[in-house]
């Protein structure tokens, strides 16, 4: 009989924010073998001070941390990596596919911008799409200051790290992973599961610059976790999730409902993704453009994969319509 391993102790670092995310969360995790930091918040003094306080309150110091594991490449999760490593040069682990983004690989980032330019054109976004591309070009320069320095060690599905199993959960980000302590059902969930908001399945290109069907991936990653017995989930934002399996069901249901609503908009009309976005999201199309387009394109990809809608290209722009069913 396999002996159960001791349940790790989690020390949450919860940094409040006035944004709809409620808080930036990262976690010190004490296992039998090591003291791990899972994610690192935003690169601001406030996050740094919260980290210092949680370390001190629990009798640790920065030098006691053995390694950092990143759930995905987003800025609000990788912020303090360089600052921590400048004091204590510990290994950093992330999914194998996070490297290009963590290293701000210029060739890839340029390819990524070209990808969005083509995508927004094809989706009928016109001037609003162009504005977004300008923003991405400006961010490209700023991005250089956010390169994660030093070596990053790659993780993949099924890896075992300090008693945690690495599970690939692409969707919110293509390189998203969660860490599961199987004996206790304790899950470090990153942004895969958030209690108070549904995670955005953000459209991204893959390494080759091809579109990833992020929403389909996200839905698949949600269903995948249903195979595990989960008791508690520690998310990247908001409150700790006491009933992860219930929340997974709710999120899957939410995706299905939204797809239905969008399918009903497309019915009997031939619309661009931008037109559908304006009908569904109204003024948010302007103010939250990239999120809104990710949602719409994600659902259209999903509906296409179920043969519910189809598209036709005219003058370089895709028009979506409902598929005739016999
Ligand atoms: Zn996040």
Q: Which are the contacts of 6, defined by CB distance < 8 A and separation ≥ 6? A: 31, 32
Q: What is the pLDDT of residue 146?
A: 82
Q: What is the pLDDT of residue 298?
A: 97
Q: Which are the contacts of 282, defined by CB distance < 8 A and separation ≥ 6? A: none
- What's the DSSP call for residue 241? B
Is 70 exceeded by the pLDDT of residue 324?
no
- What's the DSSP call for residue 8? P
Q: What is the pLDDT of residue 325?
A: 55
Q: Which are the contacts of 124, defined by CB distance < 8 A and separation ≥ 6? A: 272, 273, 274, 275, 317, 318
Sign of CA dihedral 211, 216, 219, 224: negative
Q: What is the pLDDT of residue 326?
A: 42
Q: What is the pLDDT of residue 145?
A: 77
Q: Which are the contacts of 103, defined by CB distance < 8 A and separation ≥ 6? A: 147, 148, 152
Mean pLDDT of 110-137: 96
Is 80 exceeded by the pLDDT of residue 131?
yes
What pLDDT digit, counting tens, does each position of 173-192 carry? 999 999 999 999 999 999 99
The CA 74 to ligand 1 mean position distance, Å, reads: 6
Phi, psi of 65 (to 5 degrees): -70, 130
What pLDDT digit, counting tens, does each position of 202-227 carry? 999 999 999 999 999 999 999 999 99
- Please report which confidence band the pLDDT of residue 4 belongs to, taking 50, 70 and 90 as the band edges: confident
User: In the chain, what percentage of residues exceed pLDDT 70?
Assistant: 98
Looking at the chain, how many residues does it have? 326
By C-alpha distance, which of 188, 173, 192 is closest to 98? 173
- Please report which confidence band the pLDDT of residue 260 belongs to, taking 50, 70 and 90 as the band edges: very high
Q: How many CB atoms lie within 10 A of CB 76?
A: 22
Query: CA–CA distance from 181 to each of 26, 94, 243, 308 (Å)?
Result: 17, 17, 16, 39
Alpha-carbon distance of 104 to 172, in angstroms, equals 19
Is 60 exceeded by the pLDDT of residue 91?
yes
CATH of segment(s) 9-103+148-242: 3.60.15.10
The CA 176 to ligand 1 mean position distance, Å, reads: 11
The CA 308 to ligand 1 mean position distance, Å, reads: 32
The CA 90 to ligand 1 mean position distance, Å, reads: 23
The CA 193 to ligand 1 mean position distance, Å, reads: 10
Is 90 exceeded by the pLDDT of residue 14?
yes
The CA 13 to ligand 1 mean position distance, Å, reads: 14
Alpha-carbon distance of 198 to 253, in angstroms, equals 11
Mean pLDDT of 149-160: 96
Q: What are the structural domain ranges in the chain?
A: 9-103+148-242, 107-141+254-322
User: What residue has token string 């075992």?
Assistant: 160
Alpha-carbon distance of 284 to 129, in angstroms, equals 14
What pLDDT digit, counting tens, does each position of 308-323 carry? 999 999 999 999 999 7
Ranges assigned E (strand) in the chain = 9-16, 23-30, 35-38, 67-69, 92-95, 152-155, 160-161, 164-168, 177-181, 186-190, 232-235, 309-314, 317-322
What pLDDT digit, counting tens, does each position of 21-55 carry? 999 999 999 999 899 999 999 999 999 999 999 99
Fold (CATH) for 107-141+254-322: Arc Repressor Mutant, subunit A (1.10.10)
The CA 260 to ligand 1 mean position distance, Å, reads: 27
């Amino acid at each position: 009989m396999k002996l159960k391993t001791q349940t790790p102790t989690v020390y949450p670092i919860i940094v409040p924010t006035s944004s709809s995310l409620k808080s930036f969360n990262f976690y010190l995790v004490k296992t039998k073998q090591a003291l791990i930091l899972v994610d690192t918040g935003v690169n601001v003094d406030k996050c740094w001070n919260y980290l210092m306080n949680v370390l001190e309150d629990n009798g640790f110091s920065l030098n006691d941390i053995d390694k950092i594991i990143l759930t995905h490449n987003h800025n609000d999760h990788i912020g303090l990596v360089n600052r921590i490593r400048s004091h204590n040069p510990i290994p950093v682990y992330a999914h194998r596919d996070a490297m290009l983004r963590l290293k701000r690989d210029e060739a890839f980032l340029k390819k990524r911008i070209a990808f969005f330019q083509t995508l927004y054109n094809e989706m009928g976004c016109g001037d609003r799409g162009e504005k977004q591309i300008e923003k991405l070009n400006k961010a490209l320069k700023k991005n250089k200051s956010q390169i994660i320095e030093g070596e990053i060690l790659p993780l993949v599905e099924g890896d075992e790290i300090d008693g945690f199993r690495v599970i690939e959960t692409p969707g919110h980000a293509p390189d998203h992973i969660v860490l599961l302590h199987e004996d206790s059902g304790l899950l470090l969930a990153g942004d895969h599961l958030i209690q108070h908001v549904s995670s955005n399945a953000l459209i991204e290109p893959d390494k080759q610059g091809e579109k990833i069907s992020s929403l389909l991936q996200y839905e698949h990653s949600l269903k995948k976790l249903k195979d595990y017995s989960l008791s508690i989930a520690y998310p990247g934002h908001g409150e700790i999730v006491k009933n992860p399996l219930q929340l997974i069901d709710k999120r899957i249901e939410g995706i299905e409902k939204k797809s239905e609503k969008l399918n009903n908009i497309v019915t009997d009309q031939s619309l661009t993704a931008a037109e559908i976005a304006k009908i569904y999201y109204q003024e948010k199309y302007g103010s939250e453009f990239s999120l809104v387009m990710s949602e719409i394109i994600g659902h259209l990809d999903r509906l296409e994969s179920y043969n519910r809608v189809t598209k036709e290209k005219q003058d370089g722009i895709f028009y979506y319509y409902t598929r005739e069913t016999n």
